[in-house]
Amino acid sequence: MNPPSRREFLRRMGYGTLFVVGGPTLLAACGDGEETAGCTFTSTNSGDNKQVNFANWPLYIDVLEDGYFESTSLQDFEAATGIKVNYLEEVNDNDSWFGKVQGQMTTCANIERDLAVLTDWMAARFIRLGWAEELNKGNLPNAVNLVDSLKSPGFDSTRTYTLPWQSGMTAIGYDPALTGRELTSINDIFDPAFAGKVTMLTEMRDTLGLVMLGMGIDPATPSLSDAEAATDKIRQYVENGHIRRFTGNDYGEDLAAGNVVAAIAWSGDIIQLQADNPNLEFLIPEEGLMLWSDNMLIPAGAANQDAAELYMNSVYDPTVAAKIESWVNYICPVKGAQQAMRDLGAEIGDDDLVALADDPLIFPDEATLSKTHIFKNLDEEEERQFNDLFQAVIGA
């Protein structure tokens, strides 16, 4: 059972293509800069709350195809509540989705989205701009099941606006048969023996965060000079040809095929790539690794906030979370889901599902989670400065 991860899907589709499935039309918008709305959102919770327009990434939820169950979690929710979920696989890229809604949000127009899943830094931007509704915790009793490691991110320290949909780790994927040894450190990726066969990610926070950890810098609190030091180190290995290239998901094929011996990689992708190359391993470096989340938030002005919160609450039921996780294979943010997955596997008599509950990349233990770091919540000026440094190095 190895359905493609949503990031693997993005690799196949290409980041420039917006993939939309049905649902209300999302109007294109123009506009530069980050301007807070000088207006008032008047449509908040004004709908009938009999539907939820849910914007998510492609292939990021359980489906019937190649699944374990006779119904999906979405179908179960609709049957239990009578609320229709218009599930829209349209968030192919944080920036492009932001660009689509920016014009409407700036004028406090209803974008006809009641729930959206955005990565940490983009969720932070929505909160900073005043474009996220505060959650009614009374509708979210299951939020107590949020795992401890994700309770207090810098961008939303009390989870006033967000709950994680899925989480993941960034470290090093490698093939010991090709490296000739077990890797233990982030800095092993710079071994001269691997020259020309190493890739790094175009995601600034992932790559800079790992390099900083290898330099003894805490990525949760880096200064501009720390970012300069990290990019200077990367530049050395770009200029001498050690780093083959900077990639999105497309490191996967090279890694599985052996064209690359080590890559900065996402945990969920390695689970999928192991189907093609069982030798691949995901290194938990001695210095630590990066932790990120894709977060559910309710865009300001959402007409069906109550219904959206009821849905959010449902996916924090451990059994529902286990059902989603059986297909998605990233880190589950819900306490109790691991045991629920074992129970579901036993109930339907599927040993593969029971075994999936023991995958440390889906349900990492406390020792692993204690080594994770969340990148600093950058303000607008810091984000510009850090991005300028990084883009200059990777040649973008």
Asked if residue 307 and residue 162 are part of one domain, the reply reads yes
Say what the pLDDT of residue 296 is.
Answer: 98
In a domain, 138, yes or no: yes
Crossing angle for the helix pair 305-315 and 73-81, nearest 10 degrees?
130
Asked if residue 316 and residue 244 are part of one domain, the reply reads no
Asked if residue 131 and residue 189 are part of one domain, the reply reads no
In a domain, 1, yes or no: no
Asked if residue 85 and residue 190 are part of one domain, the reply reads no
Whether the predicted pLDDT of 19 surpasses 80 = no
Cα–Cα distance, 277 to 280 (Å, whole number): 6
Per the prediction, the chain carries an average pLDDT of: 89
Asked if residue 174 and residue 135 are part of one domain, the reply reads no
Q: State the average pLDDT over residues 157-182.
A: 96
Q: Model pTM?
A: 0.82
Say what the pLDDT of residue 396 is.
Answer: 59
Share of the chain above pLDDT 70, in %: 91
Say what the pLDDT of residue 5 is.
Answer: 41
Share of the chain above pLDDT 90, in %: 74
Q: State the average pLDDT over residues 198-208.
A: 93
pLDDT digits (tens, 9 = 90+) for 148-167: 989 999 899 999 999 999 99
Asked if residue 246 and residue 143 are part of one domain, the reply reads no
Say what the pLDDT of residue 30 is.
Answer: 37
Q: State the average pLDDT over residues 95-122.
A: 95
Say what the pLDDT of residue 269 is.
Answer: 83
Phi first, then psi: give them for residue 89, nearest 5 degrees: -85, 75
Q: State the average pLDDT over residues 230-239.
A: 97
Total domain count, the chain: 2
Asked if residue 192 and residue 57 are part of one domain, the reply reads no
Asked if residue 160 and residue 304 are part of one domain, the reply reads yes
One-letter amino acid at 396 equals A
In a domain, 262, yes or no: yes
**What confidence tier does 48 reach under pLDDT thresholds 50, 70, 90?**
very high
**What confidence tier does 80 reach under pLDDT thresholds 50, 70, 90?**
very high
Q: State the average pLDDT over residues 356-367.
A: 90
Say what the pLDDT of residue 171 is.
Answer: 97
CATH number of the domain within which 173 lies: 3.40.190.10
Q: State the average pLDDT over residues 307-334.
A: 96
Asked if residue 47 and residue 133 are part of one domain, the reply reads yes
Pairing status of strand 372-373 against strand 289-297: parallel
Say what the pLDDT of residue 34 is.
Answer: 58
Asked if residue 205 and residue 160 are part of one domain, the reply reads no
Q: Which domain holds residue 33?
A: 6-167+294-365
Asked if residue 263 and residue 308 are part of one domain, the reply reads no
In a domain, 129, yes or no: yes
Angle (nearest 5°) at CA 206 between 196 and 376: 145
Asked if residue 175 and residue 142 are part of one domain, the reply reads no
Task: Please list, in sequence order, all residues whose beta carbon lies within 8 angstroms of the beta carbon of residue 264, skipping any fewer than 6 positions away.
Answer: 170, 171, 172, 173, 189, 199, 200, 201, 206, 207, 210, 251
